[in-house]
Every structure is written in structure tokens, then in C-alpha cells.
Chain A
């Protein structure tokens, strides 16, 4: 009897993760070579539409493993459901896409079955009845062929891009509903959130007010922020300020930060070390305020203000507000 390859398809909030098609393509190629059968499974709740989409590919069958408790992904839930299912169906090989979610539960799943897992494979080799998976080592300098120990089920996950999703063969398969055994689920997932991406894109700002060591203390940055707000610009900083955590790293201008070229760049208490200059020298107009008359920033400034920024900046902010009204 032909062995079965089970492809675990990934869905999130009822939407199919398209990288699963790559895994299917890989499974189909291997199945052709080895003379094995391909089946697919997807885990969740109310996932009929996902299952239906997979059913349009050349697989023998699609299983929709469903339970209310699997509505949200949890490692306990998914592993319990899949362990029971795999123990029942006994596929020879389980293939998964190497996604973040798979990284989370696949080791637990394989371990629960006492099975081997080869992760992040970039391909496979099937020669003379022997199956090998190819993995990269030393950041891609080496490739290693890994063979699988034990009787199975064997687990392997494919790296994104290892196969082409558009090379999946089409077909028509039946969908079978399977109710899942979930057991105790210890995690209670909260609502998904996206970590605040770059809240600011300095390269798009037309006016930037930038502070350096001359600002002396973290609380004094408020003075600069007030000016930035009055001008309708963004606040930025040189490296020491961001290193100290007074402003987030994404506000750093310089050779190890952002390169900017706004219409107006105000450098407050910035000496003008070359590492900072290279990040802002393309600015259209540069105004520098620094109490050291020999600060290198004055070499590239269009307007050089030698003075105490703690006196000048608040006064400047007031004048700007008057004009802007």
C-alpha cells in the first residue's frame, strides 16, 4: 500500500496562509517520485472555506480538523488535535511550511509522538527508496543532507521559497470533517496586535528638529519637542541620545541611523561629528545652535547660531507660534 504524505495547511482567522501551496507543491513532487499519496489537513474552527480551497488541488483528500476550542491558535490545542489525528491516520510523512506558527507547535507535536522533525529544509532528495532532506549550515555556506531515523511518522518543514506555490497541481478532492480532541489548553491567547512599526519615517519629514549631547538631560528634550511641534516637524537625535534611551533608535540620524534630507534641519547642541553629518548633510537648509563656536557642525550650517540653546530655543518657539497663528 502506498505511503501517505500529510500536508498541514496553515490558516489564520479563517484565511489560508498561501505559503501552504509551496508545501503542497513540494509534497506533490515527492509523491510522484516515490509513488506515495498526498493528503492535506487544516486545523481550526469554521474553516470550511479554507478546506474547500485546498480541495481544488491534486490531493487525495482534505481533512478539516475542527473544534470550537481551536478557534484561536494555541500550541496545546493544535498539538492535541493533530496528535490524535496522526495516530489515527498514520501518515508516513508530515510536511509543514516553516512559518512562525509551525515553529511554535511542530517540535512539541513531533516530540509528543516520539518522532523526528527536520526543520527549515530547503529541499529533499529521493534516491533508491531513501528520503533525505536538505538543510543549510553556516548561514548557507554548506548544505547538509539529513536522513530520518525511526519508522515514522516523519516530520519536515520547508523553508519559504523552497518550492513554488504556483506549481501546485490542480484537482478535486473530497473534504472530510473531523472533530478534534483538544484536551486541556493551558494558554489563553489575547487579541492579536501589531507592534508599533516605525511610528515615524524621518526620511519623509520636511522639517526636523534634532538634539545632541548639548541637551544635557532627558527632560530637556521637551524644549526641542515644543519647537518641533510649533514648526510642524519631527524630533530626531544624534547617536548618544538614542544610545542612552532618551529617544527611540528610529529617531537616530547618522551613519548608524537614518539618512535624511529635509527642507529644514535644526541641529540643537549637536557638535557635528562626521558620523552625524553624513546622515543629514543633504538637508536643504541647516540651522545649528551650539555654544561652542568651533563645533564642526558650523562648517556645514547655513545659519550658525553660537549661543545657549536653553535661552534661544524657547524664545524661538514663541516667535514661531506667533507667526504660525
Chain B
């Protein structure tokens, strides 16, 4: 049987094998669980729920380097070159394109108030808002909100699973990945026929979305990095707490719709 590596000198093959082994090792590296006798340390380990910490930290460093060399300068350039009202317009268009997915997520969370807001925002902003450039709906009493199917899964009682730090994407969890997959599947833009230029639109939308999101957090990310002794752990804690608070809010809204925004007369 022919194999590509058969044509390589033995030393090179050995090096390649070592590199692959090292890569596999780094990918499967696990945090060391403290001994059972140390109850406090064990409790902390379980609360942190980051068994793949060495691997996660590796990807944190990779992403951080990519961010410093590419994404952050791009976002800074975007903020410097593009005037604020135009950036707001771009942000609004991107948000408007996400409305169908957001609507499905609102419905899956049994939140008629949010679903109504999303529906009205999509109708109003797509028409009176000039294809989503202007957020007219907000001033008419339909405020923006954000959620995703990962939060829905949390509402349904699916545990988040261990913390994951993914290349390019960042803080995540098995539940968040599942939710992200579901959101991609239900996004009508995923299913547009190729050859209509819409595939390009999808990539452009994604690319602009990344820069738009990064630009929003320029000072916040710098602030966390400057004030944290261990930024990786701080981002992990912030991510976890934030996701949990969104799940709690979704549970609260599902349990008492009358006390939610639906009770307000202008919605």
C-alpha cells in the first residue's frame, strides 16, 4: 500500500510522527484533579468544570495572538475609518438578518413577548427602517434583545457540560456548540441556493459580523486584560456567569410571563 510518508527520509518521518504525537497530546491534555483528601481544592475543581484546561489555555493563547495581530487592529481600523452612524447602520443590518433565528429561539423559549418584539422589529426595520439600516422599531416600543438556542437548551434543563475554549470562536461548551449548530440549521440564509451570490453574502455577513462584534468590545476586553491577573480564568468566569444569568432570566420569563415585558402597555 502506498503511503505519502513512505517517500520521506526516516528522520523526517520520525519528526513528523513526534509532531503528531505532541499535537495529539496537547489536544488531549487534561487538568490534574486534586486528591480527594483536599476537599476545598476538589470543590473548586468541580465548580470550575474545566477538565481540558491545558488544551483550552493553548487555544486561548492562539486566539489571543490572532486577535492582537489581526482582529483587534482590524476592528480599530474599522472604528477609525468608518463614522459612528454608519457602524450603527451596519450593526442594525446584521441584527436584522438574525431576526428569523432569534424569532425561532424566542418561540422555543416560550417567550411570546420577545417573539412579538422580534417579529415586529423585523417587519418594521426591514421596511420603514430601510432594509434594516435604521432601528425604527426601537423608538416604537419594540426594544432589541438577544438570545440563542444554547440558552433554550439551558432552559430545557440541558447541562452546559465542561468549559471549552475553541479556536477562533472562544468561550464555549458542548451545550453552546449544540445550540450554535441548531441556530445555523434554522437560519434560512444557511439554505439559500448556491450560485445566487448569497453564499458570498453569508461569508460577508460573517466577516463583517466578527469585526462589528470585536469593535463593540475594544475597551471592555482591554479593561479585563489589564485588570485581571489571569485573563483566561476571568473570561471563563464572566462567560459562565453570563450564560447562567441568561438561562435564569429565560426561566424567570417562562415562569411568569405576566411580569415580563409583555405586561408593559407599549408592547
Chain B binds chain A: no
Interface residues of A (CB under 8 A from B): none
